[in-house]
Amino acid sequence: MFEETRSKLKSIDVGSSNAEFLYSFLRAFNFPKATISKLQLHNNSNSFLLKNKLLFVATEKANPFAELEALKLNGLAKIKARIILIANKDYILSFDKSTEDTLSVSKKELYNYFDFFLPIVGIEKKNLKNAKTANLKSAEKFAELYNSLVQSGECRSEADRRSLNIMMARLLFCFLAESIDAIEKGAIYNLISTYTSASGANLNVLLKNIFNVISGRDRADLPDYLARLPILNISLFEEEIEVPKFNNQSRKLLLDISSIDWTTVNPDILGSLVQSTFVPDNSLGLCNHYTSVSNIMKVLGPLFLDELYEIFEAKRNDVYGLQCLLARISSVNVFDPTCKAGNFLIVALKELRKLESNIHSALQILSGEITKPKSIINVCQFYGVEPNYFNTLITRIGLWITDFQTNDSEHINPLDSIDSFDASNILFANPTRIDWSRFCTDKEESYIICNPTYKGATKQTPQQKADVAYVFRNHTNTSSLDYASCWVYLSAQYIKNTKSRAALVATNSITQGQQVGLLWPKIFAQDVEIFFAHTSFKWKNSSKDNTGVTVVIIGLASDGVVNVKRLYSQSTTDETSNISPYLTTGDKTIVKRRRTPLSSLPPMPKGNMPYDDGNLILSRQEKLELVNENPAAKIFLKRLMGSKEFIHDIERWCLWITDDNLSEANQIQPIKHRIDKTRESRLSKADRAAKKLANRPHQFRETNITITQSILVPSVSSERRKYIPIDFVFSKTIISNLAFAVYNCEPWIFGVLTSKMHLLWIKAVCGSLETRIRYSSELGYNTFPFPNITEEQKEMITACVYSIIQEREKHAEKSLAQMYDPTNMSGELLHSHEVMDSVIESCYRKEPFLSDQQRLEHLFSAYRDKLICK
């Protein structure tokens, strides 16, 4: 169906003018002539708008990312088009506003990515089950072969696994070597198909021979068919390994793999795919998530590439300037201290070569020379540390093939290119245990890029726990840190007092909640600051399972190295003099956990934790059945509310038994059964506290109850609502550990908690679940700066509270979720909240606040003042 589009795109003359390029592009997607001739000029003569579909921008800039950034600065929302297509002489950069996908390819390769543009003809990519790319196909075949060999029982021991991994890496190397003619094309396929039997029985012997011949170990009296293989003098083939036995099926898979056309395989994602599909478990418990190219560009651009391109644009007509720039890029180090399959390094190499090629083109124009010299960017400038041996091999392979593919010179002998396999600096080690500065010694400038493993403090393996303890051995209060903090800290140490910079992708947790107070003082103490950052966005790559995590990007530099800091979000870019550890434009104020409220507010504990494996809790149905059969059970039941039951008005019940009426409760068989099960479950836990709780299995861990009225605050709730849904609950309700409670409180407290001021504070200083609002008392409530107010003010607030309650009562049939639906909130309810907001704000100061930014600044300064007073 789209073959025609593809072939039309392929036939576009790359050298044509911008307008011609655009016309051909649109014709490929079958836009009628009339549409094309009616194209509107947009803002200036370099861009065209196809309304609601496409904005085409022609640029002179060699780095189209700069043009996209410029558009973002002006606000992407204003652009009335789904897809933005930026084109310079050779490359195109495209951005899909809806999916936030980025595509960066040369014009020549554009046809292979036509599906990116299908939304402009009304087809969503997700609906398109198109043929898999060569990359994915190859990776899956590789994974199949790997699994087949593992499952046939050939690779039981650790040593067998290792041999298998090395064999897989060697095979990958051989096929790529064929693709660049370092090995005769089809040689491996022919050897296997000709000299092994269909049963696969002697295939392992043949492979062993092939490896021996290639390594040069065993070349005496070779039969002719093996003698034609070259000697590849690299470490990959040095070790003599046991090759696992093949069977009919695995032999067939290997033949399939060797007949793939490896010339079309893209090294920056192949390695990652291979790795993510066939290293399912590894002894270090590290994850195999890899970073997509568009995410890598979010890191490389602000870290150094944008700056290099700015220099290039400025010196375009200056031979000396261009030569200086060349000298500079030939001496930078790029260092990924947890490189996995190496795709950061590979993309960095590719991008630097692209820039180099641009510089050579500019120099050619200035000097009139025709031939391009050999690249001065060497793979030895690329450093990686990786605790998985197989990954180090994949990284080396990726860098080697990229080195060959991106070298402009036509006179590189494929066999000579092999040397770069061992030239790259890839170290097999645990990066938390080595001294980075002794591995990647700082020449002129080094750039650290990485996407370390994230693991929350309570989810770390003992090994990871020990790693964190080792990295932070000179500090206290470190056992709640995420595993990724190690890389932030070590990066800061590495760049300290140098001009080098670092940029990391990390879980957003390290920029939120308690971790801010635990990590960032240790970073800032080294005179290192955040010079750019990208706020939270949902992690995505093209791997089959897109795991749920929300990430940020953090750029670090020594104080004073970078003056203008850039703060990026999905659609905006802010320039500022400081980026806070919460990734806002504020100052470096850090809010730390407090046990008691800073202001004159009553305590807010968490609700009661069941700790029961579900045995003390009943659904509506279970409760009805119990009461039907045992009417006496009724007095032991109370409504239970966590966030979900509270917000969505879901009926859930719990057994609430005091020591006094325990014997009475035990008379009812189903209740006794539930109590017994709770005891069992608590006893089965390793935790000492749990065993102690088994002594009172009829009760929740905490036993707080409401006597008059309590305010319930859900601990997690959607960030899309205008207000956090909170409400009063009364004595029949038990609040669970999934909500906070101000027990038996005065009504005006409700006014403070529901206010916009409080919400802003909570969003700013508490943690979050992905991007949900995660309320917390120690971080958000106890730290909230609220003025001491008069009785009159309390009365005013109370009046507003009642008017909100009254508005809610008009919709008594609705749940809080429905009343506070972000798209459908009643005008009166909204209004009563706004009145409340202004009353609360008037407690802070007479003149009204003009923006949330102002409100937050006031809150932070009030927080600092209160702290000093205490």
Of 123-142, which residues contact DNA (CB under 7 A)?
A: 126
User: Cβ of residue 473: shortest distance to DNA, in angstroms?
Assistant: 14
# binding residues, DNA (CB under 7 A):
72
Nearer to DNA by C-beta: 789 or 817? 817
Q: What is the C-alpha to C-alpha distance for residues 76 and 51, in angstroms, rounded to an integer? A: 14
Q: State yes or no: residue 737 binds DNA (CB under 7 A).
A: yes
Instruction: By CB under 7 A, name the one of 114, 175, 421, 454 that touches DNA.
Output: 454
Nearer to DNA by C-beta: 66 or 296? 296
Nearer to DNA by C-beta: 8 or 677? 677
- Show the tokens assigned to 77: 């929302």
Q: State yes or no: residue 302 binds DNA (CB under 7 A).
A: no
Nearer to DNA by C-beta: 513 or 751? 513
Phi-psi region of 767 (alpha: psi -120 to 50; beta: other; left: phi over 0): beta
User: Cβ of residue 326: shortest distance to DNA, in angstroms?
Assistant: 34
Which 488-507 positions form the footprint of DNA (CB under 7 A)?
Answer: 505, 507
User: Cβ of residue 689: shortest distance to DNA, in angstroms?
Assistant: 6
With CB under 7 A as the contact rule, which of the stretches 34-42, 386-394, 667-675, 736-744 interacts with DNA? Answer: 736-744
Q: State yes or no: residue 343 binds DNA (CB under 7 A).
A: no
Nearer to DNA by C-beta: 379 or 764? 764
Instruction: By CB under 7 A, name the one of 381, 717, 733, 754 that touches DNA.
Output: 717
Q: State yes or no: residue 766 binds DNA (CB under 7 A).
A: yes
For residue 101, the SS3 value is strand
User: Cβ of residue 609: shortest distance to DNA, in angstroms?
Assistant: 6
Specify whether the CB–CB gap between 96 and 119 falls below 8 A. yes
Instruction: By CB under 7 A, name the one of 271, 714, 751, 785 that touches DNA.
Output: 714
Which 506-565 positions form the footprint of DNA (CB under 7 A)?
Answer: 507, 509, 512-515, 539, 547-549, 551
Element (DSSP H or E) covering residue 782: none
Q: State yes or no: residue 620 binds DNA (CB under 7 A).
A: no
Q: State yes or no: residue 452 binds DNA (CB under 7 A).
A: yes
Q: What is the C-alpha to C-alpha distance for residues 595 and 765, in angstroms, rounded to an integer? A: 15
Distances (CA, A) of 564 to 300, 532, 585, 589, 627: 17, 9, 12, 19, 67
Q: What is the C-alpha to C-alpha distance for residues 405 and 619, in angstroms, rounded to an integer? A: 63
- Give phi and psi for 826, each to the nearest 5: -65, 140
DSSP assigned state of 812 = T
For residue 42, the SS3 value is strand
Nearer to DNA by C-beta: 47 or 543? 543
Q: State yes or no: residue 642 binds DNA (CB under 7 A).
A: yes
Instruction: By CB under 7 A, name the one of 133, 148, 272, 777 that touches DNA.
Output: 777
Q: How far apart are the first and last CA of the chain?
A: 72
Q: State yes or no: residue 774 binds DNA (CB under 7 A).
A: yes
Q: State yes or no: residue 678 binds DNA (CB under 7 A).
A: no
Instruction: By CB under 7 A, name the one of 772, 814, 858, 866 that touches DNA.
Output: 772
Instruction: By CB under 7 A, name the one of 199, 259, 479, 576 that touches DNA.
Output: 479
Q: Strand pairing partners for 640?
A: 734
User: Cβ of residue 41: shortest distance to DNA, in angstroms?
Assistant: 33
Q: State yes or no: residue 674 binds DNA (CB under 7 A).
A: no
Q: What is the C-alpha to C-alpha distance for residues 259 and 92, in angstroms, rounded to an integer? A: 32
Q: State yes or no: residue 456 binds DNA (CB under 7 A).
A: yes
Q: In what order do the strands lie in the sheet with 83-87?
A: 40-42, 44-50, 54-58, 83-87, 91-96, 101-106
Instruction: By CB under 7 A, name the one of 588, 685, 722, 811 that touches DNA.
Output: 685
Which 40-99 positions form the footprint of DNA (CB under 7 A)?
Answer: none
Instruction: By CB under 7 A, name the one of 480, 542, 666, 793 that touches DNA.
Output: 480
| Residue/partner pairs of 806-812 with CB below 8 Å, 24 or more apart | 806/832, 807/832, 808/727
Q: State yes or no: residue 287 binds DNA (CB under 7 A).
A: yes
Q: What is the C-alpha to C-alpha distance for residues 320 and 828, in angstroms, rounded to an integer? A: 69
Amino acid identity of 253?
L
Instruction: By CB under 7 A, name the one of 211, 776, 837, 841 that touches DNA.
Output: 776
CA-based nearest residue to 823, from 754, 720, 723, 719: 720
Specify whether the CB–CB gap between 608 and 624 falls below 8 A. no
Which 207-226 positions form the footprint of DNA (CB under 7 A)?
Answer: none
With CB under 7 A as the contact rule, which of the stretches 211-219, 372-380, 624-632, 713-721 interacts with DNA? Answer: 713-721
Q: State yes or no: residue 292 binds DNA (CB under 7 A).
A: no
Instruction: By CB under 7 A, name the one of 33, 459, 691, 810 that touches DNA.
Output: 459
Specify whether the CB–CB gap between 713 and 775 falls below 8 A. yes
Instruction: By CB under 7 A, name the one of 457, 490, 800, 804 that touches DNA.
Output: 457
Specify whether the CB–CB gap between 418 and 400 falls below 8 A. yes
Instruction: By CB under 7 A, name the one of 6, 465, 722, 858 that touches DNA.
Output: 465
Nearer to DNA by C-beta: 255 or 690? 690
DSSP assigned state of 606 = B
Cα 48–Cα 51–Cα 57 angle in degrees, nearest 5? 25
Instruction: By CB under 7 A, name the one of 186, 602, 614, 631 that touches DNA.
Output: 614
* Residue 713, C-beta contacts closer than 8 angstroms, at least 6 positions apart: 604, 724, 726, 739, 740, 741, 742, 753, 775
Q: What is the C-alpha to C-alpha distance for residues 770 and 513, in angstroms, rounded to an integer? A: 12
User: Cβ of residue 663: shortest distance to DNA, in angstroms?
Assistant: 23
Specify whether the CB–CB gap between 517 and 524 falls below 8 A. no
With CB under 7 A as the contact rule, which of the stretches 6-14, 38-46, 203-211, 451-459 interacts with DNA? Answer: 451-459
Q: State yes or no: residue 687 binds DNA (CB under 7 A).
A: yes
CA-based nearest residue to 312, from 64, 14, 56: 64
Q: State yes or no: residue 289 binds DNA (CB under 7 A).
A: yes
Q: State yes or no: residue 395 binds DNA (CB under 7 A).
A: no
